[in-house]
Amino acid sequence: MKNFNINRRHFIKGTAAASLAFATLGAQGLDIAYKAKKYRVGLIGTGWYGKSDLFRLIQVAPVDVVALCDVDKNLLNGASEMVKQRLNTKKGPRLYGDYRKMLAENELDLVLIGSPDHWHALQAIEAMKAGAHVYVQKPISVDVIEGEAMLAAARKYNRVVQVGTQRRSTPHLLEAQKNIIDSGMLGKISHVEMCCYYHMRNNGNPPLQQIPDHFDYEMWTGPAPLRPYDGLPHIRWWRTFMEYGNGIMGDMCIHMFDTVRWLLDLGWPQEISSTGGIYVQKEGKSNISDTQSAIFKYEDLNCVWQHRSWGTPANPEYPWAFSLYGEKGTLHGSTMQCDFIPVGEGEKIHLDVLYEREKFPEDLTEERIELNAAPATRLHMLNLLDAIENNKRPVADIEQGHISTASCIMANMSMQTGRPIVYDPAKRIVVGDEEATGLLKRPYRGDWEHPDPEKV
C-alpha cells in the first residue's frame, strides 16, 4: 500500500490553495494579505467547543475578543481567564449571561456560536441583525423552519455564515477529493454508506437536584421544553434528549452526510426514509435512538446511514466514517484517514490526518482539544475570513449547512411517522403529508418566538 503523506508544498493547490496560503502566512501575514482591521469577536456558549473554535480563530487571525456570553458563570469566568492568557493581556472581555444584551451593547464583526443546538437559530439570526458575520456550530437548527429562517436572514442582511462542518476544510479529505474522486479513480459512484458506532448516548439516571446559583437553568433552556433539573447539562448530557437536539442523527450523521454531499456535489435528497428507536439501552432517561438506519435517496444513488450506540463497529478502523462505492473502486474516509481500494490490480492509496503540533504547540496543552480536527477548524476560520473580506460564500455556507441539517432532522421525522419524507424547499412543505409538514416547526416554550423565514 502506497502512502501519500500530505505536506504544505504538496497540498497548496486546487480549491484549498487560498486558505492554505493564509494558514502558512499565520496571523501577521493574514493581516497583511487582507489589509484587515482587527476583528471584533464575540462568543456565545463558552463550553468545550465554543472555546475550541475561538482558540482556533485566535491562532490564525488578529482578533479582539470583545465579549463572552454564557448562562454558567463558572464556565464564563474560566473562559475569560483563558482568553486573557491566550491573548497575553490583563484586560478581559466583557461578560454576559444574556446574548441579547451582549449583541445590543457591542459592535461585533464576528460572532461565534457554540451553544446547544436549540439556541443556534435565535442567536445566529439576532447576531446577523446586529450586523455581525457568524460562525455557527452544526447542526444549525433543531427544526427545518429554523434553518430556513437562518438562511433567509443571512441573505437578507448580506452576512457571511460559516457552519462548523469542518470536514470541508479537512486536509486529507481535500486531497482525496482532488486526486481520487475528481480525477475519476472511483468511476461512477452509485452507493454510499455512512456510520457511527460510538458509545455516546449517556444512558444514565441521575437524581433531581437543586439548581446551583452559578447556573441560569431557565435561560439555558430558553425556547426548549423545561426538563426537571438533574445536573449540569454540559458536554454531552443535553445531547441525549430530543428536547434540545436531534440525537446521534443530528449530531454525527450531519458531519458525514455533509461530507458526502460536498465530495459528490449533491443538493437536497429526493426522498428520505428512516427506521430505528431505542432497541437495547432502555434503562436510562435518554430518549434519543440507540439504533437507527436512514436512506437519503438521489438519482441512481442511495446514501445510507447506520448508527448504534452499543456493540462493536462494522470496521474498527472506521467507526465514524463514510464509504463511497464506485465501479472502479471504493473510498473509505473519516476524520483520521482515507483508504482507496481499487477494483482489480490497481494501486491502493492511504491518506493520513494532518497534525500541526510543531506549528501550534499550544494545541498540546489545551484541555479536551481534538487534535485531529484543529487544522481543519483553522482552515475553516481562514476560509470564513476570506469570504468576509471578498464578499463571497464560504465553503460551509449556511445554505449547505441547512440542507445537511434539515435532511438529518427529516430522517428523524420519517422514523417518527413511519413514512418517507419528500421535502419541497421552495414551498417549505413535506409533499402530500400534512402531518409531517407540521413537524417541520417545533413549538417554542413561553414567550419565545419561533423565527419566521418570511419575517426575519
Q: Which residue ranges form the domains of the chain, and what is each CATH number?
A: 2-167 (3.40.50.720), 173-221+228-357+398-438 (3.30.360.10)
- What is the pLDDT, as a whole number, of residue 36? 55
Peptide bond preceding 139 in cis form (omega within 30 of 0): yes
Do residues 30 and 382 touch, judged by C-beta distance below 8 A?
yes
Helix boundaries (H) for 323-432: 374-390, 398-417
- The Cα–Cα gap between 327 and 191 comes to 10
Give the Cβ contact number of residue 452 at 10 Å.
Answer: 12
Give the pLDDT band (50/70/90) at residue 3.
very low
User: 307 and 319 in contact (C-beta within 8 Å)?
Assistant: no
Asked whether the predicted pLDDT for residue 307 surpasses 80, the reply is yes
Q: Please state, for a pLDDT cut of 70, what percent of the chain lies above it.
A: 92
Q: Which three cell numbers mark 272?
A: 428520505
Would you state the pLDDT for residue 16? 43
pLDDT digits (tens, 9 = 90+) for 158-215: 999 999 999 999 999 999 999 999 999 999 999 999 999 999 999 999 999 999 999 9
pLDDT, the chain, mean: 93
Return contacts of 427-434, CB within 8 angstroms, 24+ apart.
428/144, 428/145, 428/148, 428/453
The percentage of residues in the chain with a pLDDT greater than 90, rounded to a whole number, is 91
What are φ and ψ of residue 174, in 5° steps? -65, -40
Instruction: List pLDDT tens digits, range 113-125.
Output: 999 999 999 999 9
Residue-wise pLDDT for 271-295, tens only, equals 999 999 999 999 999 999 999 999 9
